[in-house]
Amino acid sequence: MENAYDKCLTEMFSLRRFGIKLGLDIIDGMLEGLGHPEKSYSCIHVAGTNGKGSIASALAAILHAAGHRVGLYTSPHLVRFNERICINNTQISDRGVIEAYEAVKAVAPKDREPTFFEYSTAMALYAFAKAGVNWAVIETGMGGRLDATNILSPELCIISNVSLEHRLYLGNTVAQIAAEKGGIIKPNIPTVTGVHQKSAIEMIENIAAEKKAPLFRRGSDFRVRRKNGTDGNFKFTYHGLDNKWADLHSSLRGIHQLDNAALVLAGCEVLMRKGVSLSFEDIKPGLENVRWPGRLEILETRPEILIDGAHNLIAARRLAAFLSDYGRNRKVTLVIGILDDKPYKAMLKSLVPLCDHIIATRPVIERSLPASTLAGIAMEMTDQVEVIDDVSSAVVRAMEVTPETGIICIAGSLYVAGEAIAALEGMSVPVAV
């Protein structure tokens, strides 16, 4: 018999992933029924193709370090739903999930069933108000303009970057997708962005100008410069809107985290301009202590395990850049599963040549590609390929074929990362001494 927590999650997971049409009417009605909890605190809204979770978690960590009570809403979760809703860097409790779900269910419309994401968004905004946060950092789910999170009236908007993704819903060109993500820009509200493609930045600039929203661009209004160090352990200097901050370090691995850190720090400067209680003494430790699981996360086991969602081409290329350095002169086993709406051939071509053994797998989600499809492409580049559909079994096999001095890289989808993490939690894996 299901307990109350499992029952509410079963009901939520039975909801459709996207609505009959994307829009804000349903979420607005639900929040009205809840007394508009999102109006009881200040918000930061983060959109973008890649990096938005890292940026959101870093901002939440910094605001918390500054003494603020902070809510953080991200998606998807890796292992448990509770990961999506955090308060002061702590996941919501099971009881908190139940209370939020019951509150939202009581006001949900009867004429059109809300989507899973509308439900979870309303639950997060309700939970933050109930917990008395004064800041909430909210990551978009998909796109921006018609995303359920765009019901917010934020103090700051951040658009990390833009590339081709979710074309069925967002458009077939970078400019069209930029228009969707730029839909989070609000009248007179500052926006920070790392978008760089000409057509995309023109779109973002036009939207910002139309809404009279101050726009700050990485590379022109602020920048970072890396100092010496390895890819996973380097310091950098930030040249910003009002400040120059030296000897900074992010706990998040990968050279691409420099770009994300630049957006985080520019966002902090915008907040400081608005009079938010925040200082360099808060920013530095907040940046150094942020955690974002499943993204270039290294487990100090034997063999070492590297887990990275790497769920699209940009992320796969970033993982490849990291592996080419970190995995040099070491045996690397790649456990990979990819969803059917991703450019899997290009993703595999980025990663397979860097690895000695490939295990194609498939996460438990309808949109995942058959492992045999991935294996067929990988076999064009190497003959060291296996097919193991179950992610947990694929991880076990990787530990069998990888020497203790090697690396197991688990990648291709956040769903694969989540299933692997859940499997590892139930295993007795040797820890490096």
Q: What is the pLDDT of residues 265-282, one digit of tens each?
A: 999 999 999 999 999 999
Confidence of residue 170 (pLDDT cuts 50, 70, 90): low
Residue 167 has pLDDT above 50, yes or no: no
Determine the pLDDT at residue 94: 96
Express each pLDDT in 54-87 by its tens digit: 999 999 999 999 999 999 999 999 999 999 999 9
75: left (phi over 0), alpha (psi -120 to 50) or beta: beta
CA distance 166 to 176: 11
pLDDT value, residue 433: 40
pLDDT, one tens digit per residue, over 84-123 is 999 999 999 999 999 999 999 999 998 888 999 999 999 9
Read off the pLDDT of each residue in 312-326 and give the average, rounded to a whole number: 93
Q: What are the Cα distances from residue 6, in Å, to 2, 3, 339? A: 6, 5, 26
DSSP-derived pairing of the beta strands 297-299 and 85-87: unpaired
**pLDDT at residue number 256:** 86
- Indicate the pTM of the whole model: 0.91
Half-sphere exposure of 243 (CA within 13 A, CB side): 17
Q: How confident is the model at residue 20 (pLDDT cuts 50, 70, 90)?
A: very low
Query: How much is the pLDDT for 431?
Result: 54
d(CA 177, CA 164): 7
**Integer Rg of the chain from CA:** 21
If DSSP codes are grouped into helix, strand and coil, which group holds residue 160?
coil
**Is 358:388 a contact under the CB 8 Å cutoff?**
no
Instruction: Sketch out the chain's domains with CATH numbers.
Output: 4-289 (3.40.1190.10), 297-425 (3.90.190.20)
> Residue 337's closest CA among 310, 360, 365?
360
Range of 16-20, 145-149, 259-263 with top mean pLDDT:
259-263
- Find the mean pLDDT for residues 235-249: 94
DSSP alpha helix (H) spans, 191-340:
198-210, 257-273, 280-289, 313-326
Residue with tokens 């190497």: 382
Mean pLDDT of 350-368: 96
Q: What span, in angstroms and rounded, lies between the C-alpha atoms of 413 and 65?
A: 31
Write out the H or E segment, with its range, that includes residue 245.
strand 244-248
Q: What is the mean pLDDT of residues 24-48?
A: 96
